[in-house]
Amino acid sequence: MNQIPDRLTKVRLRIEAAAKACGRRADDISLLAVSKTKPAGDVLAAYQAGQRAFGENYLQDALPKMQALKGLDIEWHFIGRLQSNKTAEISRYFDWVHGLDRVKHAERLSAQRPTDESPLQVCLQVNLSGEASKGGATAEHLPELALAVARLPRLKLRGLMTMPDPDSDLATQRAVFARLRGLLEDLRSRGLDLDTLSMGMSADMEAAIAEGSTLVRVGTDIFGARA
């Protein structure tokens, strides 16, 4: 826990260096600290070091942390796979959802979002590898999905998210992220007001930032290895 502030500083310096290298402003890139499987104390340590946005993959793991840290101005992001029987609690307790890839789930999230809360901010997950085992909409079905989600009253469509296959080659990493950026630009040309590219993690954030990422998701480099 005592190492978390130092690790956060190192990650922020990486973001600043990557932004500078491609002529971007570091302030235009948000850091999402992925706290899945980590205790509330670790989240609190990062919060006390200035971090405000945290990502969780598992609802049952996230809810006790949310309760323990209730009252803090934390922005909670759900970044795991959506299930129909979990949408009610996700729509109630989270501020963002990054893994939306079905109209059915979108309709449930919108209908179940409390009326006294602001609209749920959502990103559509895009599967660029074509693997059936991975979540995400295909590039071909993305426009239809995006237009349907944008019409739902209790959701605010913000942009796109992807989780590419691990690859150490910088050019390969950039090619994948460039494709997602192109898909976002296509949706903008269709009249959708989108501002978020959720892409890039510990191993590939430099490539993602070079291709326009506005939000990087980092876990291990902040909280250490998971059990």
Q: Is residue 140 predicted with pLDDT exceeding 70?
A: yes
Q: CA-CA distance, 195 to 121, in Å (whole number)?
A: 11
User: For the chain, what is the largest distance between any 2 Cα atoms, rounded to a whole number of angstroms?
Assistant: 48
Task: Look up the CATH number of the domain holding residue 69.
Answer: 3.20.20.10
pLDDT in the model for residue 132: 67
Q: Is residue 19 predicted with pLDDT exceeding 90?
A: yes
Q: Is residue 60 predicted with pLDDT exceeding 70?
A: yes
Q: Is residue 28 predicted with pLDDT exceeding 90?
A: yes
Ramachandran area for residue 71 (φ above 0: left; ψ -120 to 50: alpha; else beta): left
Q: CA-CA distance, 143 to 183, in Å (whole number)?
A: 9
Among 77, 57, 50, smallest CA distance to 159 is for: 77
Q: CA-CA distance, 164 to 145, in Å (whole number)?
A: 20
Average pLDDT, the chain: 95
**How far, in Å, are 4, 23, 221 from residue 80 at the CA level?**
23, 32, 19
Q: Is residue 1 predicted with pLDDT exceeding 80?
A: no
User: Is 35:80 a contact under the CB 8 Å cutoff?
Assistant: no
Ramachandran area for residue 210 (φ above 0: left; ψ -120 to 50: alpha; else beta): alpha
**How far, in Å, are 18, 56, 155, 202, 223 from residue 14 at the CA level?**
6, 22, 32, 10, 16
Among 101, 156, 158, 92, smallest CA distance to 128 is for: 101
Q: Tens of pLDDT along 174-202?
A: 999 999 999 999 999 999 999 999 999 99
Q: Tens of pLDDT along 67-123?
A: 999 999 999 999 999 999 999 999 999 999 999 999 999 999 999 999 999 999 999
Tally the domains of the chain. Answer: 1
**Domain carrying residue 10:** 4-223
Q: Is residue 131 predicted with pLDDT exceeding 90?
A: no
pLDDT in the model for residue 133: 65
Q: Tens of pLDDT along 199-221?
A: 999 999 999 999 999 999 999 99
Question: Which H/E stretch holds residue 115?
Answer: none
